[in-house]
Amino acid sequence: MNEPGEAELAPTGTLPGDRVRLRTVSGDERRRAGVPVPVRRAILPIVIVLLWWAGSSWGWWSNEVLPSPVNVAETFGHLIQNGTLLPNLWVSLRRVLIGSAIGVSAGTVLGVIVGLWRLPEQLFDSTLQMARTLPYLVMLPLFILWFGVDEMPKILIIAIGTSLPMYLNTSSAVRDVDPRYVEMGATFGLSRPALIAFVILPSATPAVLSGLRFSLGLGWLSLVVAEQINAQSGLGLLISNAQQLFETNVLMVCVLIYAVLGLVTDILVRRLEKWLLVWRGPVTQW
């Protein structure tokens, strides 16, 4: 008999007596393991930075090609002190927040509608699948022609970039809800709106949140493309100026900022996932 919190599986290609044991890892067990989880997650980035520093110090490459972490840190401090970085960073953050809010909301609503009803799927799905394959760089000249070079095309590109993956994940999650749950809710007398609100949407939430993580990550990639449209402010302006002046250290500062912002976004969504999906209990790991 298995111990509480454990399950046994017989994998394909093994004898019946050979079994793989899965166990549910609680937070207390992780803390007792010795090394905290945040420290484990930081090991690989620290190793990469150390290798980067060693390569720069030992002359494996020219600092003009890839400046050392010390030079990048000094450039970061200089950009903050002269008032260049923070205002442009805020402009980029505002664009991502507005564009992602529009795109995630539109993608979620459309995904729920398409997932629930066949007629909207027949009307919208093929068109959205075609839009999903359109490259941003091809659309940039058209967006400039249609909407000018102000904020509208930048926010629209981010909204499109975040809405399509959100739509795909949400519609697929709604369609994949176990029909037995719906039948059970109908047996208890739930109306159709109640079934959607209390059965279908909660069951689809894990996949929807996975789509949210993916969409917000694409939001930062879309920002890079969007700020190529005559950017007068934002991180795109810093990147454009650095390219023209061959300031590799400024480029590396912007790259690292994008990486950190993407990581922070992912952590926030994971926290939201943990809060909304508390009913699933601890995560099962090997």
Query: What are the beta bridge partners of residue 7?
Result: 22
Average pLDDT, the chain: 80
Please provide residue 7's backbone torsions phi and psi, each rounded to the nearest 5 degrees.
-140, 150
Q: Residue 261 pLDDT more than 80? A: yes
Dihedral angle computed from the Cα positions of residues 27, 29, 35 and 37, in that order, rounded to the nearest 10 degrees: -30
Which residue ranges form the domains of the chain, and what is each CATH number? Answer: 6-57 (no CATH), 69-281 (1.10.3720.10)
Residue 280 DSSP one-character state: G
Contact in structure between 94 and 233 (CB atoms under 8 Å): no
Among residues 120, 226, 100, the alpha carbon closest in space to that of 165 is found at 100
Per-residue pLDDT, averaged over 17-46, amounts to 61
Token code pair at residue 94: 């505002």
Quickly state the pLDDT bin for 90 (edges 50, 70, 90): very high
Is the pTM here over 0.85, yes or no? no
> Does position 74 have pLDDT exceeding 80, yes or no?
yes
Query: What's the pLDDT at 6?
Result: 43
**Over 90: is that where the pLDDT of 137 sits?**
no
* CA distance linking residue 76 with residue 112, whole number of Å: 43
Which of 16-20, 88-92, 274-278 shows the lowest per-residue confidence on average (mean pLDDT)? Answer: 16-20
Residue 245 and residue 122: Cα distance in Å, rounded? 51
Greater pLDDT, 230 or 86: 86
Confidence bin at 61 (pLDDT 50/70/90): confident
CA distance 61 to 65: 7
Averaged pLDDT, 43-47: 84
Give 3's pLDDT tier (boundaries 50, 70, 90): very low
Q: Are strands 6-9 and 284-285 parallel, antiparallel or unpaired?
A: unpaired
Residue type, 202: P
- In which band, very low, low, confident or very high, does the pLDDT at 154 lie, cut at 50, 70 and 90? confident
Query: Would you tell me how many other CB atoms lie within 10 Å of the CB of residue 157?
Result: 25
pLDDT number for residue 34? 64
**pLDDT tier at 280, thresholds 50, 70, 90:** low
Quick one: which of 172, 157, 188, 183 has its CA closest to 115? 172
The closest of 215, 218, 170 to 196, measured between CA atoms, is 170
**Calpha distance 107→99 (Å, rounded):** 12
**Ordered alpha helix ranges (H), 176-247:** 179-187, 192-195, 201-226, 235-245
Question: What percentage of the chain reaches a pLDDT higher than 70?
Answer: 85
Q: What percent of the chain is modeled with pLDDT above 90?
A: 13
Residues 6 or more apart whose CB falls under 8 angstroms from that of 13 comprise none
Q: How far is CA 36 from CA 44, 47, 96, 130, 134, in A?
A: 14, 17, 32, 45, 43
| Closest of 214, 221, 210 to residue 259, by C-alpha | 221
Average pLDDT for 225-244 = 82
